[in-house]
Structure 1
Amino acid sequence: MNYISTRGNNQKMTSAQAIIAGLADDGGLFVPDELPQVDMEFIKGLTKLSYQERAARVLGCFLTDYTDEEIKGCVERAYGGGKFDDAAVAPLNIMEDVSVLELWHGPTSAFKDMALQLLPQLLSTALKKTGEKNQVLILVATSGDTGKAALEGFRDVEQTKIIVFYPENGVSRIQKLQMVTQQGENVAVTAVKGNFDDAQSGVKAIFSDREFNAKLNEAGVSLSSANSINWGRLVPQIVYYFSAYADLLKAGVIRAGDEISFTVPTGNFGDILAGYYALRMGLPVKKLICASNTNNVLTDFLTTGVYDRNRDFFKTISPSMDILISSNLERLLYHVTNDAAQVAEWMKSLAETGRYDVGAD
């Protein structure tokens, strides 16, 4: 399986290469050139497995250039060793009419731990596999949770350094304290004047600056990202949709083939996009409900087909949802249209005018 850009620059990479690069040369996001398919026997087989074993099975569908042993090692280092305070890693709390997937049992109590404990392991393995000699500098924009989870995940990981940028007045006091007190010889944290979108746009601008990147490369440094624009950050999230279904099946709440719906609090669109990938792979999903707060740019887009970030920005008690530029939506647009040129045109319009219109259909 190869990975290509959503904006169609004909760049093809293995999953290891895409995870190291983070972002495509044309500013697009890496997506698999084909989506793997699984059947109900695959899903039923997950019921007897631990979370780590489920993760290895699902990840193996996408990371085809990694060996089974490499994937297993990455998963064990990410989710084993007592890092999570529940042996189930992502336990499902089954109630009468609704079930809650608990994704807060990691070392920083943020759901981002589910991906950011695994991404550093995937990246470290990728560096060895590809023979990359450069030091990899991870740039991260955060609205709160991602920053601490990324810092913790990459702390003292060989051949990496990480800088986290957070909006000066846009994270909670606890989140700020978590970040600025982070231990590790390879970590740094910087406040940004502005909101998360400003921080994220700044990071993307650095990635897109070819002259600056060339200078870094001369100094033996390559840039990568730990935001969900990096495929290695997104792919671990697909796992817990399958895991939740397997737990419902195991508990006898549903029968094989029954469809279930997921309600997902949404900011940068990575979490719910992982659910979309699970659906496209063959998981019986009835509906994916994109839950927004007052920064409801996604609600309006999914209702009208018009994406418009030219609106008031609200600071709420859910800073991880306080986002007006949902980067991962670009991947959904690519998969729905299969038209990279059109996606590139929409993203150009978003950058220049703050809006684009995909049409009512």
Structure 2
Amino acid sequence: MELMYASTRDANEKVTASQAILKGLANDGGLYVPTEIPSLDVSMEELSKMTYQETAYEVLKLFLTDYTEEELKNCINAAYDSKFDTEEIAPLVDADGAYYLELFHGPTIAFKDMALSILPHLLITAARKNNVKNDIVILTATSGDTGKAALAGFADVKGTKIIVFYPKNGVSPVQEKQMVTQKGDNTFVVGIHGNFDQAQTGVKKMFSDTELAKEMDAAGYQFSSANSINIGRLVPQIAYYVYAYAKLYANGVIAKDEKINIVVPTGNFGNILAAFYAKNMGIPVAKLICASNENKVLYDFFSTGTYDKNREFMLTSSPSMDILISSNLERLIYRIAGEDAAKNAALMKELNTTGKYEITSEMKEKLADFYGNYASEKETADTIRDLYEKTGYVIDTHTAVAASVYHKYKKDTNDAETKTVIASTASPFKFSRSVMDAIDPKYDSLSEFELVDELSKIGNVKIPQAIEEIRSAEVRHKTVCEVEEMPKVVKQFLGM
């Protein structure tokens, strides 16, 4: 049976999976959601014996029903190959009473690779299926990791161009160097004078600009998205939660049907939403623990039922979570509003006009699966140091936010028994200065790459290829613009 996708803001807009992936965003600015969440149709016994690629197929075939088996398997095999530095793709590490799901073994050493390695293949397949003649222009805003992962995925992919906007002073030095050294004639990277939310809003505006769409079409182009607003990003992320549960079961850590907790460091809400979808597919999950940094808009939302972005924007040591407009939360709001597109659209309009909205008490009751909390900068650093001193295991700042919030969860709930998976979303090498400062301030005088070498030594971990590559790489992208100049910059790059 074919699974269709509906817009969160218009009950009448329904498309196939490949059309949803191609478009990225619905015509009315809404996000595409599956009309139902399918249930897994293989047993845990079978899943426990599967490779990552086989698990991904079992998840993707249920959501992307207008792709053939051959098409999906080709996309999966092209994505999860020797680009990843471990055969398992997403290994689990047991450290200090939690299981860290390492999602950073791909080409850009962040969890975004898990979905952005496959998205170009899903997109090109979708374009062929829907007889698209235009070149696809991937337009993306990044808070640090999506940008490089998308650039790496789409570089030199025939029939595509990719344009990435990032906050000029709002990403780590390694994140910036990874992006501005990106090769590929079809790639373009632009720093904006502003923060991530402004970059993301600018991108969304271009998506819904009908005049721009006409100009693009006349020039032989059409936009699509690599942000987590694209359902083609979200669905592959569900696979690693299914895989993690199956691996815990295979390794005898959990019994059949035993529930686990999942902790996710959260900014744009896509990664934890994928865990929520995995739970709704039948994976036994007790609590979904939503971890924020000092930009704690989600923690406040789960505590009060009010989403309010009217607050100071904080630059933290976990920049990929420095976000005040969590785009993917809209998919959850739509669901707890009883899949009422009009109700959801009204809330989103309120967010757009006043910067906040409040959900009803009935909607709030439907958030019982979630626990939210946040970690301060000090708590994040303390967590990195404590874990290293106890176990020798080194985690990055985003993963540390999650680990810190997990400690708070245990304290608040007295639930120390439930086995817990923590989504480890980036390699510590990507944030080496913050990580090494946390472990010992004596490293403060070292340069970025001296820190990398020292981190490799103390953590007894090989320096990832992604870091070695940028040591001496040439800066190829130097464009910087104001927020309001974004459309002009896009047209210049496309020669319009």
Range of TM-score over shorter length: over 0.9
**Residues 43 and 242 of structure 1 are in contact (CA less than 8 Å); yes or no, is this contact kept in structure 2?**
no
Partner of 1:291: 291
In the alignment, what sits opposite 2:466? none
Letter in 2 for 1:106: G
Aligned 1:185-200 pairs, distance under 5 A: 185-200=185-200
SS for the counterpart of 2:33 is: strand
**Pairing 1:322–2:322 present:** yes
Hey, what's the Cα distance between the residues in 2 that align with 1:165 and 1:125?
A: 25
Shift of 1:34: 1.3
Q: Residue 341 of structure 2 aligns with which residue?
A: 340
Are positions 1:55 and 2:56 aligned together?
yes
- Output one character per residue of 1:265-320: Cα deviation in whole Å (capped at 9) or x when no partner: 00000000000101111110000000001000000001100000000110001000
Identity of aligned residues (%): 58
Spell out the pairing of 1:1-361 with structure 2 (5 A cutoff): 1-38=3-40, 41-80=42-81, 82-95=82-95, 97-337=97-337, 338-360=339-361, 361=364
Tell whether the 8 Å contact from 2:40 to 2:59 is kept in structure 1 after alignment: no
- How does the TM-score come out when normalised to structure 2? 0.71
Question: Offset of 1:95 from its aligned partner?
Answer: 4.2
Runs of 4+ in 1 over 2 A off after TM superposition: 41-44, 94-97
CA deviations on 1:178-201 (whole Å, 9 max, x unpaired) are 101000111000011110000000
**Mean Cα displacement is larger for which, 351-360 or 156-165?**
351-360
| Unaligned segments of structure 1, at least 5 residues | none
Residue-by-residue CA offset, 1:192-222 (whole Å, 9 max, x unaligned):
1110000000000000111111111121111
**What is the distance in 2 between the residues matched to 1:9 and 1:63?**
20
Amino acid at match of 1:15: A
- The gaps in structure 2 that reach 5 residues or longer are 365-496
What is the root-mean-square deviation of aligned Cα atoms in Å?
A: 1.0
Q: Distance in 2 between matches of 1:193 and 1:10?
A: 38
Residue 306 of structure 1 contacts residue 359 of structure 1 at CA under 8 Å; is this kept in 2? Answer: no
Deviation at 1:10, TM superposition (A): 1.1
Equivalent pair of 2:242/2:278 in contact (CA under 8 Å) = yes
Amino acid at match of 1:28: G
**How far off is 1:68 after superposition?**
0.7
Q: Based on CA coordinates, which of the two structures has the bigger radius of gyration? A: 2
Give the Cα–Cα distance (whole angstroms) in 1 for the partners of residues 273 and 305 of structure 2: 17
Deviations 1:49-78 (A, max 9, x none): 110111011100100000111110000000
> Over residues 87-107 of structure 1, what are the superposed CA-to-partner deviations in whole Å (9 max), with x where a residue is unaligned?
000011134621010001000
User: Secondary structure at 1:11's aligned position in 2?
Assistant: strand
SS in 2 for 1:57: helix
